[in-house]
Amino acid sequence: MRVRTQINSYAMKRKRSINQNIQHRLLPDFRNMGTVLRIVLLVNAVALFLALAQAASPNELWQQMLFGSALLQPVLLCTLLALYVLNPALARLAYWQAALLIVAVVALLTFALTHLGGELFAGTDEYGWFGDLRRLLQSAIIALLLLGYFRWRTLVLSPAQADARLQALQARIRPHFLFNSINAVLAIVRSEPKRAEAALEDMADLFRMAMNDAHELVALKDEFALAQRYLALEQLRMGERLQVRWHTANMPDDALIPPLVLQPLLENAVYHGIEPLAAGGVIEVRLYAADKRLHLEVRNPLSGTAAQTGGNHIALANIRERLSLLFDVEAEYRVERSAERYGVHIIIPYLKQEAP
Amino acid sequence: MNDTFTLPLTVFVVDDEPLARRRLKELLDDCRAQIELEVTGEAGNGQEALDKLGETPAEVVLLDIRMPQMDGLELAQHLNKLEHPPVIIFTTAYDAYAIQAFERRAIDYLLKPIRLGRLFEALTRARDAVPIRTEVLQELMPEARSHLSVHERGRIILVPIEEVIYLRAEMKYVTVRTAQREYLIEESLTALEKEYAARFVRTHRSCLAAKAAVAGFEKGGDEGESGWLLKLHGLDERLPISRRQWSGVKMLGETREQGA
């Protein structure tokens, strides 16, 4: 019963987030540090290019840059501020509407700041109305170029995203795990049919999740429940050898994370950490929020041989790629490795679920 | 000729997962209706399998490939040293590499989850099969063995390779030295040197020393030698270094010192 209600709530949450996610793919998230950095760098690169085109001597170049910057930097700053504020509204609009609005905001800010600045920009204002038109066109073109860049970036990266998804799909349902689990369930079908039923239900949930769209964010607590189901299946096979220590006292209930980040980490820990050890071992999992960021830590023991070969980390490379596609520079991925322990520490922005 | 049909086929099961063993035993039970067989035992790891099979031999061993510490491919090589080497049928959940290799060499394997019909087929075939040759098994192993197997008073003992300090050829045997004791094995030093190139260094025509055990050098030794002896961690013995091997061994000592 409990299982069914959870799945239903999954479906509802997913429907709600679909529209937002598609928007996010074409329009950058203006509250993301990576996006802001890219905009600042690119706008200044364009300014440098223009200055280079006009300057005939190093001195002139310097002057041109300084001249341009006097207007450029305030406009840039105000635009970034405006976009930060407008970000949720932009996400709700259609792409072309949002793009139009952004260009309008940029043009308006350019116009307003030029005139507010008064004397400060007078030196550049030699042509009267043409000066205004020129600046408006310049800023609109730069805004369109940037929008084009972000659109291009997601379009170029989206095959990678799709590919990563496929690979992740393959990696997270390791055939090894699938067939061994079926084999274990078959072993208890006759003697413990109730336990076999529960195991098959866990398996169904796990695979349903694995086949979901990887672009949607899911509730951390659902991902946590899924991870527990996965571990119950592994425990069926490995019994006492697999022990898990959860530290979830500070796990926020409303946090959202990309799906199947936690489970592949655990699968990796089981496959490379516990299975090669005859006596088994302990996997430690920490889920907590700190400084408005969400931390996921998974640590497992390393056997001598695994420490030497380093193991196959396709699944982990995959998580890393997905996180950087979703969160740009705001996602951190750390590997902590010693002679006998291996740990992955993921830090992502703490996104909250909207109240239903 | 009739004997083979009247005596039940003896089968032994090796898998590290208790449930996987339980499943196999259930299926073997189901097979009884069509083929006379007897499950003589089961084991969860390599040494246990060698001990039990040394006491009560079985004709067929169902052997899981992926197991902790020692995989099935290596265990099969050690099982070949038993007085009556069994016919081995490998079992695996998923191992693309092994399956391809098996098919090329017509080695029997069962895919988990195992089907009754397929198990029955394999058992029927196993009656007439011969054990897989050790050389073939060695070819299948992507890496060096993790253990050396030693015949001793009718038993086979597994010596973890990381415990071995040196290997020394004597007549037709090779002495395996660990910190605790010595063992004798019937293998060629050249083959061992090749298999464990990453782990051992040749110090002498008749000697391989574990690189990790090299502690330093000491003046001494007989004529015809390099004039140096090798000191080892965990042992008071000294190993002779031949003139031919001196430069290579010396370099190892130097890089270790730099690393330290």
Q: How far apart are CA A48 and CA A41, in angstroms?
A: 10
Lowest-pLDDT range of A343-352, B45-54, B136-145: B136-145
Residue A237, φ and ψ in degrees, nearest 5: -75, -40
**pLDDT for the residue numbered A159:** 61
From residue B105, give the alpha-carbon distance in Å to each of B97, B134, B142.
13, 13, 16
Number of C-beta neighbours around residue A315 at 10 A: 22
Are A243 and A144 within one domain?
no
C-alpha separations of A346 from A165, A261, A327, B190 in Å: 19, 9, 12, 48
Name which of B23, B68, B113 is nearest A276 (Cβ-Cβ): B68
Is the pLDDT at A154 greater than 70? The verdict is yes
pLDDT in tens, B181-229: 999 998 999 989 989 998 999 998 899 999 999 888 888 777 657 788 8
Chain A partners within 8 Å of B22 (Cβ): 187-188, 191
Judging contacts by C-beta atoms under 8 Å, the chain B residues touching residue A176 are: 66, 93-95
**Could you tell me which CATH class the domain B163-259 is placed in?**
mainly beta
Domain that residue A280 falls in:
173-352
Tell me, what's the pLDDT at A303? 77
In a domain, A166, yes or no: no
Alpha helices per DSSP H over chain B: 3-6, 18-31, 46-55, 72-79, 96-105, 116-126, 134-140, 189-195, 243-259
φ, ψ (nearest 5 deg) of residue A99: -60, -45
**Cis ω for the linkage preceding A301 (within 30 of 0):** no
C-beta of residue A209 within 8 angstroms of C-beta of residue A220: no
Q: Which residues of B209-236 are buried (b: 16+ CB within 10 A; e: fewer)?
A: bbbebbeebeeebeeebbebbbbbeeee
Determine contact, residues B150/B185, Cβ cutoff 8 Å: yes
Tokens standing for residue A112? 């307003």
Q: Which residue, among B63, B97, B93, has the nearest Cα to B77 in the 3D structure?
A: B63
Distance from CA of A188 to the nearest CA of B (A): 8
How many Å lie between the alpha carbon of B222 and the closest alpha carbon of chain A?
38
Number of domains in chain A: 2
Best of A174, A177, A178, A180 to disrupt the B interface by mutation (most B CBs within 10 Å)? A180
Q: Which residue of B has its CA nearest to A182?
A: B113
CA distance A178 to chain B (A): 8
Q: Which residue of A has its CA nearest to B21?
A: A187
- Parse chain B into domains and list their residue ranges: 3-140, 163-259
Q: How many CB atoms lie within 10 A of CB B16?
A: 22
Q: Which residue has the tokens 């709700």?
A: A92
Q: Is A184 on the interface with B (CB under 8 A)?
A: yes
Predicted confidence (pLDDT) per residue in A138-152, tens digit: 889 999 999 998 888
Within 8 A of B146 by CB-CB distance, chain A residues are 305
Do A86 and A207 have their domain in common?
Answer: no
Report the CATH number at residue A257. Answer: 3.30.565.10
How far from A141 is each of A30, A46, A144, CA to CA, in Å? 19, 11, 5
Q: Report the alpha-carbon angle B91-B54-B39, nearest 5.
A: 50
d(CA A230, CA A217): 19
Cα–Cα distance measured from residue A230 to residue A178, given in angstroms and rounded to the nearest whole number: 11
The pLDDT of A297-304, averaged and rounded, is 88
Strands (E), chain A: 218-219, 242-247, 255-257, 281-290, 293-301, 332-337, 341-349, 351-352
Are residues A95 and A192 located together in one domain of the fold?
Answer: no
Residue A304 maps to a domain: yes
Structure tokens at B232: 């080892």
Three-class secondary structure of residue B238 per DSSP: strand
A to B CB pairs, distance under 8 Å: 59
Shared domain for A256 and A328, answered yes or no, is: yes
Q: Taking CB atoms and an 8 Å limit, are B93 and A179 in contact across chains?
A: yes
Would residue A163 count as lying in a domain? no
* Shared domain check, A238 and A187: yes
The answer to whether the CB of B86 falls within 8 A of the CB of B131 is yes
Distance from CA of A209 to the nearest CA of B (A): 22
The answer to whether A200 faces chain B, any CB pair under 8 Å, is no
- pLDDT at residue A25, as a whole number: 60
Q: Are residues A136 and A93 located together in one domain of the fold?
A: yes
Write down the CATH number for the domain with range B3-140: 3.40.50.2300
Confidence band, pLDDT 50/70/90 cuts, at residue B63: very high
Contact call for B114 and A183, based on CB within 8 A: yes
- Residue A187 touches partner B, C-beta closer than 8 Å: yes
- Binning pLDDT at 50, 70 and 90, where does residue B5 land? low
Task: Looking at the complex, report in whole angstroms how far the Cα of residue A182 sits from the nearest Cα belonging to chain B.
Answer: 7
Note whether A193 and A150 are same-domain residues: no
CA A215, CA A322: separation in Å to the nearest integer?
A: 9
Region B155-174: what's the mean pLDDT? 91
Q: What integer is the mean pLDDT of A260-281?
A: 88
Asked if B68's CB is within 8 angstroms of A183's CB, the reply is no
The residue whose two tokens read 């043009």 is A107
Distances (CA, A) of B199 to B129, B173, B193, B240, B260: 36, 20, 9, 19, 18
- The reply to whether A195 and A342 lie within a common domain is yes
Q: Do domains B3-140 and B163-259 have the same CATH topology?
A: no
> Is A152 found in the same domain as A66?
yes
